[in-house]
Structure 1
């Protein structure tokens, strides 16, 4: 695998090192910290079932929000078409 060399100031190095888990390389740490995370990883307080329920709730809320936005857009479109302006 190809590698790249980067420079970090002392503070950045110490912060990265503080996030390093046993057995992890610095590359692993960067990938873990830079990648997308689940709610259970972000908060550190949810068990897997709670995190899944939380993610499901967020997805459902987003779906309802999209549906509400679509209804509002339809009503605005209908109102605009009724009064003849466009």
Structure 2
């Protein structure tokens, strides 16, 4: 069984608070760093969609936002009665 090596890392208070907010219940700070470090950057996704696919996705998102807004308006009207 191998031994785990540890390293000390200095963080600013602001960086520590950002990391702490990302930490999930039951997760160590090391677990959090490993999870976050393994995430893909949105910049890595640049160029994956064609212009047509991106336009279709934008339209679908806008349509969903419109439906959500309409539904919230309906609920608001119901509560105002």
- Scaled by the length of structure 1, the TM-score of the pair is 0.42
TM-score of the two chains, using structure 2 as the length reference = 0.45
